Amino acid sequence: MNEKDDMGIKNKELNQQNIVSQQHLRHFLDIEYLPKSLILDILDLAESFAGVSGQPVKKVPLLRGKTIVNLFFESSTRTRTTFELAAKRLSADILNINLDYSATKKGETLLDTLRNLQAMHCDMFIVRHPSSGAAEFISKNVLQNISVINAGDGRHAHPTQAMLDIFTIRKYFSDFTKIKVAIVGDILHSRVARSLMHALRILEVPDVRVIAPKTLLPIGIEDMGATSYVNMDEGIKNCNVVIMLRLQNERMNSSFIPNEHEYYNLYGFTPRRLDLLAKNGIVMHPGPVNRGVEISSEVADGDRSVILQQVSNGIAVRMAILSLSMQP
């Protein structure tokens, strides 16, 4: 398959069958077909959970008695930890499966692993997998009483990351129809970029820009409501929000840039580029941050950066998604 087609832009059948289930939030697999009203409902619910972290007892009893499984076939610290904290703050029991020592390493199939976990009367699987479509495959092979949350599948989607990003943006800009947003970096391999573009389109952001070398721009960007730029200075000019992405070397099977030093000179967010943003502009990054490759330490740690706020907001947003998915 052509790498530039793997963003899922043309592969509509991967999510089309989940429109009904997503409206009821039994599963949360992608953002592409969610109605705007549901996205706003999730953001509003997350807002109500945001204060829980500041309370002496950081728990609410909404999911007491429920068992949630973190099923991560790909390494992660930030996503897995925030899901774990979200589940615990909803009073659920959380089980982290260490797949390096699981039976799948001994030859057991994924379906057999799922059936064994179902036999333990689990209520939800949070799935992170290196293959696009894995979360959807799992959702089609679980019992009716089990919910599946996509915590990132291949280069296809990372819907909860996009939700926490737009939740963070709304903290600074309440009207999505009046802002300019730029996404900079490895767009081609980024499931975060794909989910973000869908979310921003649904929320009617009028000016969404993606900025990258031509080798890291997928085909069909315009179909997703975005405008592509290869010059970073032109692309971020007067933007209210700039979202930096890392180079996903683990998903590259050839050389897409000459070297990281040249990439940083052309596409790294350096302090001088802050002057190109709108006066109220903010800088975001879904992490992990590679300092000196896509962003300087001065910017990442500066007063225009909201990177750590994104991490904090991830707990509240994931609490909202978990609680809605567990509704009868």
pLDDT tens digits for range 183-207: 999 999 899 999 999 999 999 999 9
Greater pLDDT, 9 or 294? 294
Q: Where are the domains of the chain?
A: 3-158+312-325, 159-308
Say which of 27, 89, 156, 158 is annotated catalytic: 158
Specify the pLDDT at position 75. Answer: 82
Single out the catalytic residue among 26, 27, 66, 79: 79
Let me know if 106 is a catalytic residue. yes
Which pLDDT score, from 0 to 100, does residue 255 have? 57
> Is 304 among the residues known to form the active site?
no
Instruction: For residue 19, name the pLDDT band (cuts at 50, 70, 90).
Output: very low
Neighbours of 56 (CB within 10 A): 4
Question: Does the reported pTM lie above 0.85?
Answer: yes
For the chain, strand residue ranges (E) read: 67-72, 93-97, 124-129, 147-153, 180-184, 207-211, 227-229, 241-244, 282-284
- 3-158+312-325, superfamily in CATH? Aspartate/ornithine carbamoyltransferase (3.40.50.1370)
pLDDT at 25: 80
Task: Please state, in angstroms and rounded to a whole number, the distance separating the CA atoms of residues 100 and 304.
Answer: 39
Q: Which residues have C-beta within 8 Å of that of residue 124, sequence separation ≥ 6?
A: 66, 67, 68, 69, 146, 147, 148, 149, 322, 325, 326
The stretch 58-87 carries a mean pLDDT of 93
CA dist., res. 163 & res. 313, Å (int): 10
pLDDT for residue 118:
92
- Looking at residue 196, its pLDDT comes to 97
What rounded mean pLDDT belongs to the chain?
A: 88
The residues pairing with 295 across neighbouring beta strands, listed in sequence order, are: 269, 291
77, 106, 177, 214: the active-site residue: 106
The answer to whether 318 is a known catalytic residue is no
Q: How confident is the model at residue 102 (pLDDT cuts 50, 70, 90)?
A: low
> Is there a shared CATH topology between the 3-158+312-325 domain and the 159-308 domain?
yes
pLDDT value of residue 55: 83
Contact predicate 286/160, CB 8 Å? no
Q: Tell me whether residue 12 is one of the annotated catalytic residues.
A: no
109 as an active site residue: the answer is no
Among 60-64, 106-110, 161-165, 192-196, the least confident range: 106-110
- In the set 128, 180, 209, 246, the catalytic residue is 128
pLDDT bin (cut points 50, 70, 90) of residue 97 is: confident
* Residue of 4, 78, 80, 291 marked catalytic: 78
Domain at 159-308: CATH architecture: 3-Layer(aba) Sandwich (3.40)
Q: What confidence category does residue 18 fall into, taking pLDDT thresholds of 50, 70 and 90?
A: very low
Q: What is the pLDDT of residue 109?
A: 83
* Mean pLDDT lowest among 7-21, 94-108, 114-128, 235-249: 7-21
Bridge partners of 228, per DSSP, are: 210
